[in-house]
Amino acid sequence: MAWKINYSYIEDDKEDIKTPVSVYGPGEGRRHGPIYFATNAITKEQAEALDAGQGHRFRLFDDDGGLYYEGLCLEGPEGEEEEAFGPLDDYGTPNAGAVRIEYYDKEKKAWGVL
């Protein structure tokens, strides 16, 4: 599994502002200031694929429905359930308390809760 957070809506206390970030996962995490970074997480090829925009779009939300992060995951919701929850479990929850992940369905052109 490999994923990347592309945008944060909570960095620097800028509510509702889409801030570009690059956080890759999974991996052994470490806390650095307010951000939980996954380190030594993915291969160079996986990082290049994510940087090129490949993968399944996802969003991470808090329990009030506030959007925290957007990103890409090379393995999507049709794969292993544990892997599909990876961005939430590895980054969203420990970093910001996110509790919900949604994936974009290209065929339906709609977001769906996993």
pLDDT band of 90, cuts 50, 70, 90: confident
Higher pLDDT, 98 or 36: 98
Residues 6+ apart with CB under 8 A from 53: 72
What pTM was estimated for this model as a whole? 0.82
Quick one: tokens of 5? 């957070």
Tell me the mean pLDDT in the region 58-69. 93
DSSP 27-39: SEEEEETTEEEEE
Residues 6+ apart with CB under 8 A from 41: 2, 24, 25, 26, 27
* SS3 state of residue 98: coil
Does 77 score more than 90 pLDDT? no
pLDDT in tens, 2-49: 889 999 888 666 666 788 887 778 765 544 444 445 555 688 888 889
